[in-house]
Structure formats: C-alpha cells, structure tokens
Structure 1
C-alpha cells in the first residue's frame, strides 16, 4: 500500500504533522470534531486543497475519520484498546495500562435463577441463583464494551451492596479472597443489533467482538460466566504464546467467525 505522506506536498505534510502532534499530545481529544475544512485552512495559513491533502493523509493513517453529510465532518479517531488474551485482567486495569481513563455505566443488577447455559457453565444445580450484572464499559468517556457478568450468588453474598462501577475482580479479591487463576474465552464476530448499536454508539450491523468467558480460581473452581461485546473498530485482539519444545509443537488456529442474522 502506498504511504499517503509520499503523495502530498510539503505544505500539506507540515499541516499533517501539526495536527498529528496536537492529537498525540491530547490537545485534540478522541471523538472531537475538527473545524470545517475552510476554517482549518484559514487558521493554518494554507489552501483548502492543501488542507484536504493533509486530512486525507491523516485518515489513511487512522488518526481521523471523515463523515460525509450535513451532520458529518472530520473527527479524531479513538485510540484502539488492546485486548490481551494471554492475561486474565479486568477492563479497568486493561485501560489504565494503556493510558486511558476507565469508566462504567451500570445498566442493571440483580439476583436471578440461573438459566440452563449459565448453570452448566458455573457448575450449578437446578434452581441455583446467580448475581447478574450488566454494565457499559467506557474508555476515555466513550463506550467500548457491553458487559454481562454472572456469578454464583451463594459464593458472593452481599456483593450487590458494594460499589460495582470499578473492577469486579478487585472486589472479589478484597471481600471474598477470590482471584482468577485461568479463563477460557471464545471469540466471534457478530453484527450489532439496534439496541446494542445505540448503547455502544455505533451503527446497526456494525461488527462487534463477542467474547464469552468462563473463569476459574487457582483451585480450578469456576466463579464467573460472562459475555462481553466489544466494538470491533476500537479493539485489537492480541495473544502472546511461548514457543513449545520442538517435539511438542503443533499448529493452532484462532478464527473470528461472523454470525449471520437469522
């Protein structure tokens, strides 16, 4: 692919660098709308065609996105979140490690009878109850994921009396001496429903990363069954796998499969 910077003139390159510097130093925030092309050109002392070249180069590099139409414009693109599957870590810690501000909006909490899938995943008997928590996770103030967590109610009494806006893993460690030992996660790509798109601030049918997780404590007992929907345009999945001895090496395929609407 051709580097967009190689196709623009020196004036456009100067403008590109100035705008990129403002983005990288936080003077232009993710999601912020830049001024009109004409106003930007005037303020930076260049022609509209030069400004157009600079914005095209920034868009090609993924620093901004341009939305056509009367309500559109040029917007600073949000930083992508790296979701490292090699570690079991809560979203707040994940975001903090990447220099982002973490936030939550609680949609619902309650205690309910486990459905068949939840009971099987948590190893619960028929009629067992679970703590059910649904939250929106925010990265720098913008929705990044929709999180649905279910925990055995008997194991974590009075959990709903605690503040649930931060890390559940921190609460479980502090109040119930429970920490994750390992997690099994299944990932696929799904289209956003109307409600999910509205909650996550994206378009209907936009790609979401659906992550179903079963988490065990260090003794091997399952204590969490959850389902997260991450905005695919703002999330990068990474896996760090140590090399096995040559005699034990075998191939492994990780696939993201689209789920078609019925």
Structure 2
C-alpha cells in the first residue's frame, strides 16, 4: 500500500514549478494565473495543494491576490530597491536593477515659492520656482509620483527641455549642476483618491513619502522634492557605519 505524498512537499513542488515558469518568462510580471481548479489540473495536484503553494508565494511577495469578481492571483512585479545611501535619479536606479524605466510628465509650471520651499532653497520672499510633476514607471507600471521644485533663476529654460529622463543628468548636461549632498525624510502615508488614480493603487494603500532637499557642490540647495513611492513595489536600503569613538589612554 502506497501512502500519498505529504501536502507540504507537494505544495513545495507546485511552487517550484510555478517559480520556474516565472523565471523563464512563461509567466510575466502582471500576468494573471488561472483559477485554483485550472492550476490544480495543470500541475496534477489537489486544489488545497495549489492554495498552499500560492499562499507561500504571496507571503514571499512573488504573487499578489486581488479579491472580487474581477480579481485573481497575479505575478508580482519585482520590487525596486531605493538605496538612500546614494544620490541617483530613478531612471538610473531602475536601469541598474534591470528594470525598464519610463516617465509620464503630469505637469510643469512656474509658481511662486511657498514658505517651506523658500526656506529649503534659501530663496527670497518673492522668488519663483519651477515645478515638475512626473509619474515614474517600472516595467511599464507606475512606481512613484514625484513633485520637484527648483529655483527658476538658476535654471532658465528648463521647462523647455525634454523632461522624460533623469532630472539630475539634465541639470548636469545643461547647467553644470550635480547633486553633492541630500537630506531625506521618510514616512508612510495613505494614498488619497488622486494619488491612487495616478499610481494605480487602491485608495488608502500605503505609500512611502520621501521629502528631499538636494545641494550642489557649492553648498547651495537646488532641489526640493516630494516623492510618493508605492510601498508594495519598493524596498528601502541604507548603508551605515559605526561611529567609533577614539580610544583614550588609560
């Protein structure tokens, strides 16, 4: 008499086979998996085994489940590692991780600087700033909504330049300005209706809010920005070193 294979082992095998399809590109990011019944038939296992395999993959962030009649189980997009130890534009960040970068420019404007922006950019009370609002795409799907403000007097003609790539690379090429230092503040916020629509997430979905002030080599700040990253598509990395105190002689 033969005994059936333990469900745990069968689920691991089913998960391995699904992961192989994802690795080879047979199942691409965003692809919808079949229902439990169809997957069980295709993999030659029970529905409970499929359910266990999918639960394990969901915990690992490899698939995501959307409830409802139009929902289902989808292959998750890879997460973007936002390394706060380096000052780098989103397009370069994505390229370094093998992710196709894209941009949609939402709006550009010349506006009077508000009190916070004036303080961060060391501007006079009547100063104007250039505001650039863009959606960053990772493999064709929204990853972040960014609103950058820059001193209008320092970057004349900026809004007439192509703004679909890296802003830092553009400023370097046309104005000789490169980022040298930056201060960033991070908090978790919930998506409002407008942010949810632009980032293709549910209302009240968690977002990583990053407020940044960037300075050039001369010490003067040239960018004050506010970025909203999808929390389900982003991880944060920070490299730190221990601040060793000098040893004192006994």
In the superposition, the TM-score normalised over structure 2's length comes to: 0.91
Q: How does 1:62-141 map to 2 (within 5 A)?
A: 62-141=61-140
Question: In the alignment, which residue of structure 2 is the partner of 1:257?
Answer: none
Q: Residue in 1 aligned with 2:169? A: 170
What secondary structure, in the 3-state scheme, does the structure 1 residue paired with 2:21 have? helix
Q: Structure 1 runs of 4+ off > 4 angstroms?
A: none
Does the alignment pair 1:183 with 2:182? Answer: yes
User: Secondary structure in 2 aligned to 1:241?
Assistant: coil
Cα displacement string for residues 28-58 of structure 1 (whole angstroms, at most 9, x for unaligned residues): 2222211222222222333323322222222
CA distance in 1, matches of 2:243, 2:103: 39
Alignment partner, residue 207 of structure 1? 206
Question: Separation in 2 of the partners of 1:149 and 1:199?
Answer: 16
Contact 1:11 1:50 in 2 (8 A): yes
Aligned-pair distance for 1:210?
A: 0.9
Higher mean alpha-carbon deviation, 100-109 vs 59-68, is at 59-68
Deviations, residues 78-131 of structure 1 (Å, cap 9, x unaligned): 211111111111111111111111111111012111111111111111221111
Contact 1:144 1:231 in 2 (8 A): yes
Shift of 1:167: 0.3
- Name the CA distance, whole Å, in 1 between partners of 2:23 and 2:191: 30
Q: CA deviation at 1:64?
A: 0.9
Rounded Cα–Cα distance in structure 2 between residues aligned with 1:216 and 1:162: 22
> Which residue matches 2:35?
36
User: What is the Cα deviation at residue 165 of structure 1?
Assistant: 0.7
Cα deviation for residue 196 of structure 1 reads 0.8
Match of 2:224 in 1: 225
5+ residue gaps, structure 1, are 1-6, 249-262
- In structure 2, the partner of 1:160 is 159
Q: CA RMSD in A?
A: 1.6
Aligned position for 2:192: 193
Structure (1 or 2) with the larger CA radius of gyration? 2
Alpha-carbon contact 1:85-1:239 (below 8 Å) kept: yes
TM-score by length of 1: 0.87
SS across alignment from 1:246: coil
Give 3-state SS (helix, strand or coil) of 2:45's partner.
Answer: coil
Secondary structure of 2:107's counterpart equals: strand
Question: Aligned partners of 2:65 and 2:7: how far apart in 1?
Answer: 18
Alpha-carbon distance in structure 2 between the residues aligned to 1:66 and 1:89: 32
Matched, 1:149 2:148: yes
What SS does the aligned partner of 1:58 have? helix
1:50 and 1:223 map into 2 onto residues whose CA distance is 56
Work out whether residues 37 and 48 of structure 1, in 8 Å CA contact, stay in contact via their aligned partners in 2: yes
- The range that moved more, 45-54 or 179-188, is 45-54
Q: Partners of 2:236 and 2:77 in 1: how far apart?
A: 16
Gaps of 5+ in 2: 1-5
Q: Aligned to 1:133, what secondary structure does the other structure show?
A: strand
